[in-house]
């Protein structure tokens, strides 16, 4: 057992060294409901779930006070192969698609990723596991030059902008960027009432350049978007009707840091529909220096619906119609289905654990 933990420590140290030795200068797509988007949180979470397969979607509209808010959409599906009694106890396979639209189509990212994960049992009771995940694919980035206006298009005689005037800028309309992500995770079910996960991940490991205007933005030889990330989560079963799930996400990219921390209460409610329970979720999160997040969810018949709203504390809150601060935030909607093929469908009430 000591050798196993020593090996895990070496892997974690190697990951940190890789991350710290590379430069960053761009930002990736992020969601406030990171706890409901496992395929985007850590490649090692691919297929790590109580069910046999899982299908999910998420939609985000960011800074809705802007004339053209940023909109993001992701969809994913993953599946696991359980290997009873084996050291390699589970193999996960997954597919993820994401679309990110900035400024009403001025800048659009489309991303497709394939992933696999490998879960190893660390003890005979199968309460401790280490998981390794790999994710690979590509993102296409398109820039609509027709919607861009440059200072060189200003007409001093008419004291107005003239979009028909040539800008003189040499720009690239499209970019194709290969992607490679790696993640590892340790899970421990301490007892029936307490379990936790600790994950580390590194994104955009293939060096690339994302230059659009005369190679001014980058030098063509560095990684333009490397991101390092840590996720921590736990499940605390208070009683048969209530479980608490604290979650923390720490990310570093492009010289900036993000810390998102909070928790979710999972409640076994007395409500039923068609003789099946309707369980509830409620959560609060705080993204350091940026926003507070309110979350609510419903779990019914292996389907989870989640809705969250970000109350922004950034400068964007000053851009709002009619002085209404509510319009300066962002909202997200997630829908997840947990499917069962090989195993028995769980009992009438199953509170999802932090293995997503």
The answer to whether 51 touches 31, Cβ cutoff 8 Å, is no
The reply to whether 258 falls in a domain is yes
The reply to whether 40 falls in a domain is yes
| Residue 312: domain span | 2-339
pLDDT category of residue 17 using cuts at 50, 70 and 90? very low
Query: Residues 275-287: pLDDT tens digits?
Result: 889 999 999 999 9
The answer to whether 253 touches 227, Cβ cutoff 8 Å, is yes
pLDDT category of residue 271 using cuts at 50, 70 and 90? confident
Give the span between the Cα atoms of 349 and 352, in whole angstroms. Answer: 9
Whose structure tokens read 């298009």? 153
Within 10 A of 22 (CB to CB), how many other CB atoms are there? Answer: 15
Within 10 A of 302 (CB to CB), how many other CB atoms are there? Answer: 18
Give the span between the Cα atoms of 160 and 287, in whole angstroms. Answer: 41
CATH code for position 329: 2.40.160.40
Checking if the pLDDT of 264 tops 90, the result is: yes
**Range in 65-69, 146-150, 319-323, 341-345 the model is least confident about:** 319-323
The reply to whether 356 falls in a domain is no
Checking if the pLDDT of 167 tops 70, the result is: no
Closest alpha carbon to 237 in 124, 351, 330, 130: 351
Kind of pairing between the strands at 160-161 and 154-155: antiparallel
The answer to whether 310 touches 65, Cβ cutoff 8 Å, is no
Rounded to an integer, the average pLDDT of 132-149 is: 80
At 81, list the tokens. 């192969």
pLDDT category of residue 9 using cuts at 50, 70 and 90? very low
Closest alpha carbon to 244 in 252, 232, 236: 236
Paired strand residues for 226: none
Closest alpha carbon to 150 in 134, 140, 164, 129: 164
The answer to whether 64 touches 330, Cβ cutoff 8 Å, is yes
Give Cα 310 distance to the centre of its chain: 16
Checking if the pLDDT of 176 tops 60, the result is: yes
Question: Residue 175: what pLDDT?
Answer: 78
Rounded to an integer, the average pLDDT of 294-300 is: 96
Mean pLDDT of the chain: 79
Whose structure tokens read 């070496």? 10
3-state secondary structure of 67: coil
Rounded to an integer, the average pLDDT of 245-253 is: 94
By the 10 Å C-beta count (0-12 exposed, 13-18 middle, 19+ buried), 99 is classed as middle
**Range in 93-107, 176-190, 308-322 the model is least confident about:** 308-322
Checking if the pLDDT of 225 tops 80, the result is: no
The reply to whether 353 falls in a domain is no
Question: Residue 34: what pLDDT?
Answer: 94
Element (H, E) at 8: helix 2-20
* 81 φ/ψ sector (left φ>0, alpha ψ -120 to 50, else beta): beta
Query: Residues 155-165: pLDDT tens digits?
Result: 666 666 666 66
Question: Residue 330: what pLDDT?
Answer: 87
The answer to whether 331 touches 309, Cβ cutoff 8 Å, is yes
Give the span between the Cα atoms of 98 and 41, in whole angstroms. Answer: 13
Give the span between the Cα atoms of 346 and 128, in whole angstroms. Answer: 22
Question: Residue 161: what pLDDT?
Answer: 63
Half-sphere exposure of 93 (CA within 13 A, CB side): 3
Whose structure tokens read 């985000």? 60
The reply to whether 87 falls in a domain is yes
The reply to whether 352 falls in a domain is no
Q: How far apart are the first and last CA of the chain?
A: 26
Query: Which of residues 107 and 261 earns the better pLDDT score?
Result: 261
The reply to whether 101 falls in a domain is yes
Whose structure tokens read 């970019």? 175
Checking if the pLDDT of 21 tops 60, the result is: no
Checking if the pLDDT of 70 tops 50, the result is: yes
3-state secondary structure of 12: helix
Between the CA of residue 309 and those of 16, 43, 211, 296, what are the distances in Å?
Answer: 33, 26, 34, 9
Structurally, how many domains does the chain consist of? 1
The answer to whether 224 touches 260, Cβ cutoff 8 Å, is no
Kind of pairing between the strands at 227-239 and 303-312: unpaired
């Amino acid at each position: 057992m000591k050798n196993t933990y020593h090996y895990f420590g070496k892997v974690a140290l190697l990951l940190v060294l890789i991350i710290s030795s590379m430069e960053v200068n761009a930002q990736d797509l992020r969601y406030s409901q990171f706890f409901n988007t496992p395929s985007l949180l850590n490649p090692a979470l691919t297929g790590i779930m109580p069910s046999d397969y899982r299908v999910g979607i998420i939609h985000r509209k960011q800074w809705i006070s802007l004339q053209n808010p940023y909109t993001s959409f992701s969809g994913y599906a993953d599946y696991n192969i359980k290997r009873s009694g084996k050291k390699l106890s589970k193999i996960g396979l997954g597919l993820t698609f994401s679309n990110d639209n900035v400024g009403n189509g001025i800048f659009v990212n489309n991303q497709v990723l394939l992933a696999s994960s490998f879960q190893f049992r660390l003890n005979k009771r199968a309460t401790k596991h280490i998981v390794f995940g790999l994710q690979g694919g590509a993102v296409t980035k398109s820039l609509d030059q027709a919607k861009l206006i440059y200072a060189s298009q200003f007409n001093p005689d008419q004291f107005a902008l003239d979009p028909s005037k040539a800008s003189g800028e040499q720009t690239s309309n499209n970019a194709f960027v290969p992607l490679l992500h790696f993640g590892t995770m340790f899970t421990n079910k301490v007892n029936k009432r307490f379990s936790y996960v600790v994950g580390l991940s590194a994104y955009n490991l293939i060096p690339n350049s994302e230059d659009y205007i005369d190679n001014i933005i980058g030098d063509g030889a560095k990684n333009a978007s490397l991101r390092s990330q840590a996720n921590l989560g736990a499940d605390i079963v208070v009683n048969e009707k209530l479980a608490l799930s604290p979650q923390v996400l720490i990310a570093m990219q492009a010289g900036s840091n993000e810390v998102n921390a909070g928790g979710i209460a999972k409640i076994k409610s007395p409500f039923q529909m068609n003789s099946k329970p309707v369980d509830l979720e409620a959560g609060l999160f705080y993204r350091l220096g940026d926003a507070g997040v309110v979350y609510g969810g419903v779990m019914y018949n292996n389907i989870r619906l989640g809705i969250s709203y970000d109350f922004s504390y950034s400068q964007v809150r000053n851009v709002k119609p009619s002085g209404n601060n509510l319009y300066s935030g962002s909202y997200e909607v997630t829908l997840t289905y947990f499917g069962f093929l090989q195993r028995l469908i769980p009992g009438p009430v199953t509170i999802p654990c932090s293995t997503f």
